[in-house]
Amino acid sequence: MSESYRVIVNPPSPSGGRRVRVDGEILGLAYSLVDVAEFLRRAGLEGVDAEGIAESPLIEWRGGGPDQWGTAAGL
C-alpha cells in the first residue's frame, strides 16, 4: 500500500457497518475486513488483503480496531 494514501475506517454504525474513506472519499460501508480490503483494492491500492490491513499502520481505525464489528457501543 502506498504511504501517500490516508485510509480511515470509522466506528461501527447502528447497522454494524463501518464507513471507509481514502483521502477523504467515502468508498463504502464495510461489514468485515474482507469488505475493507475490497474497497481499497477497487480504489487502486495494490497488495491489499484482509490479513494485511488488520496490521497496517497506514489505516486509522476509529472507534475500535480491526476486530470491532457490529453495532456501535451505547447505540
Whether residue 74 is contained in a domain is answered as no
pLDDT tens-digit map of 13-40: 998 899 999 999 999 999 999 999 999 9
Mean pLDDT computed over 57-69: 92
Report yes or no on 27 lying in a domain: yes
From CA 71, how far away is CA 56, in angstroms rounded?
A: 23
Domain that holds residue 31: 7-61
pTM for the model stands at 0.84
pLDDT at 2: 44
Percent of the residues in the chain that have a pLDDT greater than 90, as a whole number: 56
In-domain check, residue 21: yes
Please check whether residue 14 lies inside any domain of the structure: yes
Query: Taking 50 as the threshold, does the pLDDT of residue 1 lie above it?
Result: no
> How far are the Cα atoms of 11, 21, 34 from residue 29, in angstroms, in the given order?
11, 9, 12
What does 11-28 look like in DSSP terms, one character per residue?
EEPTTS-EEEEETTEEEE
Answer yes or no: is 71 within a domain: no
**CA dihedral angle for residue 53, residue 73, residue 75, residue 21, rounded to 10 degrees:** -20
